[in-house]
Amino acid sequence: MNVEDDEDRELEKLVNFSEWYKRFNDVRVVVKQYFSDSGGGGGKMAWDLIFWVLCFFINIALLASSFYQLLSLSDLEADHLNPFEAATRINSIVLPEFLLQGFFCLSFLLTWHWFMFISTLPITVYHVMLYLNRKHLLDVTEIFRDLNTEKKYRFVKLAVYLLLFTVVLFRLLSASIFFFFAWKFEELDIRTSLFY
C-alpha cells in the first residue's frame, strides 16, 4: 500500500490493526496481547496510569483528612464543639492518616519517582517522629493550650497536600493522555507538533 498523506497513513494503521486482530478468536485475547506488548502502547503506560489514579485518590483522602482536622479545630475554637468531641474526632483519623501518608511516600520510593518521594518525605518523617514520641494524639486537657500550634501544623499539611495534588493531577493527566493517545505519538519527532 502506497502512503501519500496523513489520512492514508491512518487508514493503513487501521488496516494493519484489523489484519493483526484476525489472528485471534476472542476479544479478551486481543486486549491481553495488546497490553502485554511493550511496543503496543500498553504495558508500562497502563501500570503508570493505574499508579497515578491510585495516587490521586490517596491524595484526595489525605486532603480530606487534613481539612476535617482543621475544621474540627476551628469548631473547637468557635466553641461549637467541646474539647472531648474535638479530640475524639481528630484522634480517630490520625493513625489512618499517618499510615496512608507512609504508604504514599513508600510507593513513590518503590516506583522511583524521586521528586515526589522527596516531596512527601518531610511529612512522613515528621509523622514518624510524632508517633515515636507519643505526641501524635491530642490530649483533651491540653487542647486549648496547643490549639494555635495544631492549627498551623494542619494548615502547613493542607498546603503541602494541595501542592502535591497539583503535581499528581498533572502526572495523572499526562499518563492518561499518553496511554489513550499513544498511537498518535509513535512517530513523533521532537521538532514536530503534537497536533499534526
Tens of pLDDT along the chain (196 residues)?
454 565 666 667 667 766 666 666 555 555 555 555 544 445 566 788 899 999 999 999 999 999 999 999 999 999 888 999 999 999 999 999 999 999 999 999 998 899 999 999 999 999 999 999 999 998 888 888 989 999 999 999 999 999 999 999 999 988 888 777 765 555 444 434 444 3
Please name which of 118, 106, 112, 90 lies closest in space to residue 58, comparing C-alpha atoms. Answer: 106
Q: CA-CA distance, 49 to 61, in Å (whole number)?
A: 19
Give the largest CA-CA distance in the chain. 82
pTM: 0.71
Instruction: Collect contacts of 91-94 with beta carbons under 8 A, ≥24 apart.
Output: 91/137, 91/138, 93/65, 93/68, 93/69, 94/69, 94/136, 94/137
